[in-house]
Amino acid sequence: MRRVYLDNNATTPVLPEVLEAMRPYFSEHFGNASSIHHHGQETRAAVDRARESVAALLGCRGSEVVFTSGGTEADNLAIFGLANFGLGPGEHVITSTIEHHAVLNACKHLAKYRDEYRDETGCEVTYIPVDGRGLVDPADVKRAIRPSTKLITVMFANNETGVVQPVAEIGRIAAEADIYFHTDAVQAAGKIPIDVNKIGCDLLTISGHKIHGPQGVGALYVRKGTQLEPMLYGGSHERSRRAGTENVPGIVGLGKAAELAIAGFERGDDLKMAAARDHLERELLEIEATGLNGEGATRVPNTTNIYFDSIDGEALVIALDLKGLAVSTGAACSSGAIEPSHVLVAMGLRPDRAKASIRFSLGKQNTAEDVDFAIDLIPETVARLRELSPVWPKSAVSR
């Protein structure tokens, strides 16, 4: 049976070039990058080359790149690193209602003592809403700033809808108020160009497995002069910001994936992917009682999120998987959740419509034939599930 994978926002397949670059560092080049002998210096050089490649992707210095185990650790290091160093009791953090749980749950923990124990010395968190397109209004961010505000953390691109936030404008607001600004760019990196200086952020997160690199590696951009307290204590790795022996094969893979992403922008791969996404989107929106989540907003070129009224999203995912097509209802780390997507609910969708929404996300490996396969398969599958739905006849006439 043919299988087509359109869930690249969950994870991407490792590109052959990335795997080939990593391969020697599992065997012949096995040294500890902190050792001073030949084997260690050989791997240290590989780590340094990868650091420069990631820096080139982000428009920063190599010395400003800290390697981590992935996006979640990088988000946590950004938030708790500042909390332990620059955020004191009673201080204030601003975030949005549509963040990845790596940020939302970190912020929730910051506010735990204030919210659960009524301890006024705990940090306070303000959650900025989004409009029906899934966009944060920078004016809302500005209005939320207090004298005690020390950190703003708003994602670059949403993992479920692909909607790109006005991060450069938020960065200007943060800079004018002398507030740290962190952005989770896990779903933006490799899909749209990133320049940390144009954004004006102090901290920015990326993850290897979202850009056709390996799982288990990520990076945090830390602007020169930004002080972070480490979460892990041990050696002085990563300029004393992240203790632990470096994952050399993973870091090499992330570096190679960054190089390939840069080359892809030069070839216009992002424009070709946007055209393929738009073709898929147009065809699926021809199905009765469907709609685009995030319509009217700028999105990353690979992502579309569409609701199919009177359909249970999980049932549609399973039915399509049985026919060879992999898609998702939203964030992979929330799969199996009974509650509707917090992102779509924050955008104003009814719970039933949020649960009827499907995310399609393309990757570099996808072809025009893959998109056509999905276009051929989805309408008939939706029609079949609607035949079985007790609410379809009633809801089919209203959108």
Please check whether residues 71 and 216 belong to one and the same domain: yes
Select from 212, 255, 155, 183 the least CA-distant residue to 362.
212
Please check whether residues 226 and 343 belong to one and the same domain: no
Per-residue pLDDT, 258: 98
60 annotated active-site: no
Please check whether residues 158 and 123 belong to one and the same domain: yes
Phi-psi region of 83 (alpha: psi -120 to 50; beta: other; left: phi over 0): alpha
Per-residue pLDDT, 231: 87
Given 264, 282, 312, which residue is the final one in a domain? Answer: 264
Given 264, 293, 313, which residue is the final one in a domain? Answer: 264
Q: Per DSSP, which regions of 218-312 are E strands? A: 218-222, 290-292, 303-308
Please check whether residues 21 and 112 belong to one and the same domain: yes
Given 245, 264, 283, which residue is the final one in a domain? Answer: 264
Please check whether residues 229 and 278 belong to one and the same domain: no
Q: How far is CA 209 from the centre of its chain?
A: 10
Select from 99, 103, 48, 68 the least CA-distant residue to 231.
68
Please check whether residues 226 and 105 belong to one and the same domain: yes
Q: Which domain holds residue 83?
A: 16-264
Please check whether residues 321 and 200 belong to one and the same domain: no
DSSP 185-233: -TTTTTTS---HHHHT-SEEEEEGGGTTS-TT-EEEEE-TT-----SS-
CATH code for the domain in which residue 350 is found: 3.90.1150.10
Please check whether residues 284 and 249 belong to one and the same domain: no
Q: Can you read off the two tokens belonging to residue 195? A: 């320049």
Q: Per DSSP, which regions of the chain are E strands? A: 4-5, 65-68, 92-96, 124-128, 149-153, 180-184, 203-207, 218-222, 290-292, 303-308, 325-326, 357-361
- Residue 308 has φ and ψ, to the nearest 5°, of -125, 95
Please check whether residues 257 and 278 belong to one and the same domain: no
Tens-level pLDDT at each residue, the chain (399 residues): 999 999 999 999 999 999 999 999 999 998 888 888 988 888 999 999 999 999 999 999 999 999 999 999 999 999 999 877 656 667 899 999 999 999 999 999 888 765 555 556 678 999 999 999 999 999 999 999 999 999 999 999 999 999 999 999 999 999 999 999 999 999 999 999 999 999 999 999 999 999 999 999 999 999 999 999 998 989 889 887 898 999 999 999 999 999 999 999 999 999 999 999 999 999 999 999 999 999 999 999 999 999 999 999 999 999 999 999 999 997 666 555 578 999 999 999 999 999 999 999 999 999 999 999 999 999 999 999 999 988 887 544 444
Tally the domains of the chain.
2
Please check whether residues 253 and 287 belong to one and the same domain: no
Sign of the Cα torsion 305, 311, 316, 317 reads positive
Please check whether residues 384 and 253 belong to one and the same domain: no
Which of 107, 123, 201, 333 is labelled catalytic? Answer: 333
- Residue 67 has φ and ψ, to the nearest 5°, of -80, 140
Q: Which pTM value belongs to this model?
A: 0.94
Please check whether residues 234 and 131 belong to one and the same domain: yes
Q: Can you read off the two tokens belonging to residue 7? A: 């869930």
Distance CA 350, CA 205 (A): 31
CATH code for the domain in which residue 80 is found: 3.40.640.10
